[in-house]
């Protein structure tokens, strides 16, 4: 029996996924979490074989959850299940330690197949998205991404500097680098381009 924890912040989607997986004779949903933080707590308590998680959730994101499980050396394999068909997200998911990346509009039987595949030590990634992901590298550093994300949410240079414990000049340098790397004219356009490509 493959023991699975599901992490999804939309209650109806979470319930539907659990119901679909419970129809499979070799899969058992042992936990359902509406946030990344709750999913982490369940993984630590229940030690599942596979974690299926959305990317964007309250608190800890699916990417942060995968990264933390990797850091902790947990054996649970992670599958990202998302609406984001963006190559940048796929690259970041694989870098974070995820073994699978599926889109929510894929046929439902693909999820059960993906769970079996990653449990057996393989990977389950949309092939078209995978090809695209490796053709377009993410140019941003983690710090540039943090600064650009906060700027895109309306934070001032001073606020970002205070939050990240940097000088305002350093924040301006990171923003300037990010704008230049994505080929944008300003921080708003840079954030839009980076988000569209899954880099933010």
Q: Looking at residue 101, which CATH number applies to its domain?
A: 3.40.50.2300
Residues 49 and 108 grouped into a single domain: yes
Give the mean model confidence (pLDDT) for residues 4-22. Answer: 95
Per residue in 28-81, pLDDT tens? 999 999 999 999 999 999 999 999 999 989 889 999 999 999 999 999 999 999
Place of tokens 């509406």: 34
CA dist., res. 147 & res. 82, Å (int): 24
pLDDT at 58: 87
In contact, 58 and 28? CB cutoff 8 Å: no
CATH code of the domain covering residue 188:
1.10.10.10
Domain of residue 41 covers 2-133
Domain identity same for 18 and 102:
yes
Residue 135 has pLDDT above 70, yes or no: no
Whether residue 130 has pLDDT greater than 90: no
Q: Indicate whether 120 pLDDT > 90.
A: yes
Residues 126 and 95 in one domain: yes
Identify the domain boundary among 90, 115, 133: 133
Instruction: Please state, in angstroms and rounded to a whole number, the distance separating the CA atoms of residues 150 and 157.
Output: 9
Q: Are residues 95 and 148 in the same domain?
A: no
Report the C-alpha gap between 148 and 154 in whole angstroms: 10
Residue 194 pLDDT: 87
Q: Does residue 149 share a domain with residue 126? A: no
The pTM is what? Answer: 0.70
pLDDT > 70? residue 131 = no
Q: Are residues 80 and 55 in the same domain?
A: yes
pLDDT at 179: 92
Q: How confident is residue 199, by pLDDT bands cut at 50, 70 and 90?
A: confident
Count structural domains, the chain. Answer: 2
Q: Burial-class residue 64 by CB neighbours within 10 Å (0-12, 13-18, 19+).
A: middle
Say yes or no: 19 and 111 in one domain.
yes
Q: Name the more confident of 127 and 117.
A: 117
Q: Which pLDDT score is estimated for 86?
A: 74
For residue 17, give every residue at least 6 positions away whose Cβ sits within 8 Å of its Cβ, in sequence order, or none: 6, 8, 52, 81, 111
Q: Is the pLDDT of residue 158 over 80?
A: yes
More confident residue, 137 or 82: 82
pLDDT-based confidence at 106, cuts 50/70/90? confident
pLDDT of residue 134: 58
> What integer best gives the mean pLDDT of the chain?
90
pLDDT category, 87, cuts 50, 70, 90?
confident
pLDDT of residue 148 exceeding 70 = yes
**Token duo for residue 14:** 């979470």
């Amino acid at each position: 029996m493959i023991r699975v924890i599901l992490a999804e912040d939309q209650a109806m989607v979470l319930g539907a996924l659990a119901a679909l997986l419970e129809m499979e004779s070799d899969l058992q949903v042992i936990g359902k979490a509406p946030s990344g933080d709750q999913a982490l707590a369940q993984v630590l308590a229940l030690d599942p074989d596979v974690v299926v998680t959305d990317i964007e959730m309250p608190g800890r994101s699916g990417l942060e959850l995968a990264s933390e499980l990797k850091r902790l050396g947990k054996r649970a394999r992670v599958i990202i299940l998302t609406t984001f068909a963006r190559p940048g997200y796929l690259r970041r998911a694989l870098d974070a330690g995820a073994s699978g990346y599926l889109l929510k509009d894929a046929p439902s039987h693909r999820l059960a197949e993906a769970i079996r595949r990653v449990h057996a030590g393989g990977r389950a990634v949309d092939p078209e998205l995978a090809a695209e992901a490796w053709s377009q590298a993410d140019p941003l550093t983690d710090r540039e991404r943090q600064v650009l994300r906060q700027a895109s949410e309306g934070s001032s240079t001073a606020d970002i500097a205070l939050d990240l414990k940097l000088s305002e000049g350093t924040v301006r340098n990171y923003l300037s680098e990010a704008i230049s790397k994505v080929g944008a004219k300003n921080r708003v356009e840079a954030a839009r381009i980076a988000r569209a490509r899954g880099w933010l």
